[in-house]
Amino acid sequence: MDRRAFIKKAGVVTTGAVAGAASLAAPAIAQSAPELKWRLTSSFPKALDTIFAAAAVFSNAISEATDGKFQIEVFAAGEIVPGLKAADAVTDGTVEMCHTASYYYWGKDPTFAFGTAVPFGLNSRQENAWMYEGGGIDLMNEFYAKYNIYGLPGGNTGTQMGGWYRKEINTVGDFSGLKMRIGGFAGAVMSKLGVVPQQIAGGDIYPALEKGTIDAAEWVGPYDDEKLGFYKVAKNYYYPGWWEGGAMLHFFIGIDKWNALPKNYQAIVSSAAALANVRMQAKYDAVNPAALRKLVSGGASLKAFSGDVLDACFKASNDVYAETSATNPAFKKIYENMKAFRNEQFLWEQVADGTFDRFMMAKQSAGEL
């Protein structure tokens, strides 16, 4: 065979193959990168820039990773639905997704609480370990599926403060008759101690405290609390928030919408949620120290809950765990899994992190850092 003719024929075949591959690849690529426009409703007002901004971090990361083909518009609480109705809007298909605290929906089923925080549960580092490596995401999504929801971790505040009180809490008896804004599972525990729990969205707490509709309120920590001005109407600022050793936020997505996403988009959404999860706590850790100093200089009276108060709260928490587990199989399944994971985590942390942290805190207190 003539060599020139062979090469020419081969070139034609090769060119044809490339052209054919291109004609096949184009639709496949288009299918894997469709143009989508979703709406995300937040449970939080724009004024809470750290917690609200997590949704913007998430949305921007998705837009950048898809060259703008997947757009998620973020709406503040109240712009589409009230903050405490965000998950309902996902369940009924009003919006494709939301950014919220799972424990806001405790009233539907107490199992929702595990997605955010439960009393004397996990700290934020342990929550990440449980969710990402301990099976927590799968366990929670098995439960969320009943509500047409697929959930991904989407932020953490770290250990929260114990709230703002008009009067001092020196004994367990001081909780009796106290009307307190407190969310989720903690409200059931507090009611055992005589508190009358109130679930109020973040933007409505200050006026309720100011008018005397409530006697106390917990929210997040120094940075957000200072922005909301609680120290102006309730001076006693207690710690720690034993009901939220690490309050995790979630992105809730309509399960049908999630399942319809191409696999590469699912991977992008998961990565963007993980980015928002890290960035939120990083921001809180960076801004809380200065905010705490500002609150104290502004008149806030910083106080620790006594050991007796914490012991009583711990006992009440375990009572509620036992009572709820006895009647709710889904709750019991996740609680037992989380409890076993918690025990292992604190065994490890008292050896390494705990020892290191206690030493460094002593040096900080001594002015040696």
Mean pLDDT within 293-317: 97
- Enter the tokens of residue 38: 């979703």
Angstrom distance (rounded) from CA 196 to CA 160: 20
pLDDT tens by residue, 210-264:
999 999 999 999 999 999 899 999 999 999 999 999 999 999 999 999 999 999 9
Q: Sign of dihedral through CA atoms 180, 119, 157, 170?
A: positive
Domain residue spans of the chain: 35-158+246-285, 163-243+297-333
Cα 175 to chain centroid, rounded:
27
Per-residue 3-state assignment (H helix, E strand, C coil) for 252-271: EEEHHHHHHCCHHHHHHHHH
- Compute the mean pLDDT over every residue in the chain, rounded to the nearest whole number: 91
- Check residue 21 and give its pLDDT: 37
Q: What percent of the chain has pLDDT over 90?
A: 86
Strand spans (E) along 101-215:
149-156, 163-165, 179-181, 196-198
CA distances (Å), 59 to each of 39, 65, 369, in order? 10, 10, 39
Look at the block and give the residue holding tokens 């989720």: 184
The string of DSSP codes covering 300-312 is -EEEEPPHHHHHH
- Residue 166: HSE in the Cβ half-sphere, 13 Å Cα cutoff: 17
pLDDT tens by residue, 312-329:
999 999 999 999 999 999
Question: Do 35-158+246-285 and 163-243+297-333 come out as alike in CATH topology?
Answer: yes
- Check residue 296 and give its pLDDT: 97
Say which CATH class 35-158+246-285 falls into. Answer: alpha beta
Q: What is the pTM of this model?
A: 0.89
Read off the amino acid at residue 65.
A
- Check residue 204 and give its pLDDT: 87
Question: What's the CATH number for 163-243+297-333?
Answer: 3.40.190.10
